[in-house]
Structure 1
Amino acid sequence: MQKWEYLTAPLLVHNTKLILDNFGEDGWELVAIVPGLNPENLVAYFKRPKAG
């Protein structure tokens, strides 16, 4: 059965594409984006297959 690892990261509204592209390059798949503590921030949830 496939095992996953997860990552939660802050996502700045003014720089989302660059941030998401960087995580994608490292093999992370975006699962969800939810509001952060203030309107300028979002929180992104990622997953990728666990090695081994």
Structure 2
Amino acid sequence: MNLSSTKKWEYATVPLIVHATKQILDQWGEDGWELVQVLTGPDGNGLVAYLKREKA
């Protein structure tokens, strides 16, 4: 496998506000981020979005 052709990714975790979830995800999507998963936050409250995008 040629390492120079291997994709490299960066990741972000974003707390989601329930009444603004779509707007938050749309904004990150406009910046090139892809939603990977949404999970309950570490404190057991709220939601956290996990996103990734290819490094430039």
Matching residue within 29, 33, 51 for 1:28:
33
Q: Distance in 2 between matches of 1:48 and 1:10?
A: 17
Structure 1: give runs of 5+ residues left out of the alignment. Answer: none
Aligned length: 49
TM-score (norm 1): 0.88
Larger radius of gyration: 2
Q: Which deviations, in whole Å up to 9, do the C-alpha atoms of 1:3-52 show, x marking residues without a partner? A: 000000101111100000000000000000001231xx20000000001x
TM-score (norm 2): 0.82
RMSD across aligned C-alpha pairs, in angstroms?
0.7
Q: Does residue 2 in structure 1 map to residue 2 in structure 2?
A: no
Structure 2: give runs of 5+ residues left out of the alignment. Answer: 1-5
Show structure 1 runs of 4+ deviating over 2 A. none
